[in-house]
């Protein structure tokens, strides 16, 4: 976010560099609260780790970086650039249609930050995440809400127009960080469908962060803040997903 624009409407940004609406703070504070030193954590869709190294706010960088807080952080992604991610202890390059090459029940937490929207086969991915997760373990995901206005625009706009809108509204975003979205695992309903409540306890909720697509315009920023204030929970822009795997071995 451009602090010079945002601070006019959310002045608390001056006290630490983040707003009361910051979804990164909201998401990663809860993740840090769930961590234990002996955890093995899978960062599913880890990418190049740009958010860890390029975030201008020290507190957010420290929250995002789980390395050193747990026994091991494994990063997995279909993009080989994951091998350059400095926040990982180990990187795995996934085959597009392959499984996760980890043993059953070997991971205590899966973190997936803005990756669920890119999943083409949610049933398969959900089974794989279930397989590698220990009973009592957590799946923590931040993803756009399919019913939110950002996802809606992304789905209905032609590719050429959408690319222009993204470039205009987020001029600092790099092309290498833009990927095709399918929105097949992006409502609380579909989360419950693919992560059966018989096997998982669901603690997720919707969230509206500060505007992300505002082209450094104060007028547009104000308008989007108003839209967020009037938006019902079902139409908020983000989902923060927290699932705990139950011990169902006795069933």
CATH number at residue 194: 3.40.50.150
- Structural element, H or E, at residue 241: strand 238-245
Residue 53 pLDDT = 78
- Structural element, H or E, at residue 124: helix 122-132
What domain range is 200 assigned to? 3-245
On whether the CB atoms of residues 228 and 220 are closer than 8 A, the answer is no
- 9-50 pLDDT, tens digit each: 999 999 999 999 999 999 999 999 999 999 999 999 999 998
Copy the structure tokens of residue 153. Answer: 């625009």
Quick check: is 251 in a domain?
A: no
Quick check: is 250 in a domain?
A: no
Quick check: is 198 in a domain?
A: yes
On whether the CB atoms of residues 55 and 85 are closer than 8 A, the answer is no
Residue 206 pLDDT = 97
Residue 169 pLDDT = 47
In this structure, the dihedral spanned by the alpha carbons of residues 64, 41, 241 and 236, taken in order and rounded to 10 degrees, is 30
* Local confidence pLDDT in tens for the 251 residues of the chain: 445 789 999 999 999 999 999 999 999 999 999 999 999 999 999 999 987 778 999 999 999 999 999 999 999 999 999 999 999 999 999 998 789 999 999 999 999 999 999 999 999 999 999 999 999 999 999 999 999 998 888 887 666 555 554 554 445 555 555 568 899 999 999 999 999 999 999 999 999 999 988 878 899 999 999 999 999 999 999 999 999 999 977 55
73 strand-pairing partners: 41
What are the angstrom distances between the C-alpha of 23 and each of 29, 75, 103, 194, 230? Answer: 10, 22, 32, 24, 18
Quick check: is 208 in a domain?
A: yes
Quick check: is 14 in a domain?
A: yes
Instruction: Tell if the pTM clears 0.95, that is, is over it.
Output: no
Q: How many domains does the chain have?
A: 1
Quick check: is 225 in a domain?
A: yes
Quick check: is 221 in a domain?
A: yes
């Amino acid at each position: 976010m451009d602090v010079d624009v945002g601070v006019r409407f959310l002045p608390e940004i001056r006290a630490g560099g983040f707003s009361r609406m910051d979804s990164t703070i909201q998401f990663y504070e809860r993740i840090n609260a769930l961590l234990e030193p002996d955890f093995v954590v899978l960062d599913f869709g880890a990418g190049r780790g740009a958010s860890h190294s390029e975030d201008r706010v020290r507190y957010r960088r420290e929250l995002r970086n789980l390395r050193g807080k747990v026994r091991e952080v494994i990063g997995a992604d279909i993009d080989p650039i994951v091998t350059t991610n400095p926040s990982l202890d180990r990187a795995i390059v996934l085959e597009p249609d392959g499984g996760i090459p980890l043993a059953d029940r070997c991971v205590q937490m899966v973190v997936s930050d803005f990756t669920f929207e890119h999943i083409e086969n949610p049933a398969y991915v959900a089974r794989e995440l279930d397989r590698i997760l220990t009973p009592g373990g957590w799946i923590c995901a931040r993803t756009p809400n399919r019913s939110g206005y950002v996802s809606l625009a992304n789905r209905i706009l032609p590719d050429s127009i959408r690319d222009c809108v993204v470039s205009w509204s987020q001029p600092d975003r790099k092309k290498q960080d833009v990927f095709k979205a399918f929105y097949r695992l992006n409502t609380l309903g579909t989360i419950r469908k693919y992560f059966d409540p018989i096997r998982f306890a669901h603690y997720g909720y919707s969230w509206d962060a500060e505007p992300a697509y505002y082209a450094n315009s104060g007028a547009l920023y104000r308008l989007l803040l108003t839209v967020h204030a009037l938006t019902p929970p079902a139409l908020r822009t983000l989902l923060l997903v927290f699932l705990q795997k139950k011990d169902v071995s006795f069933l």
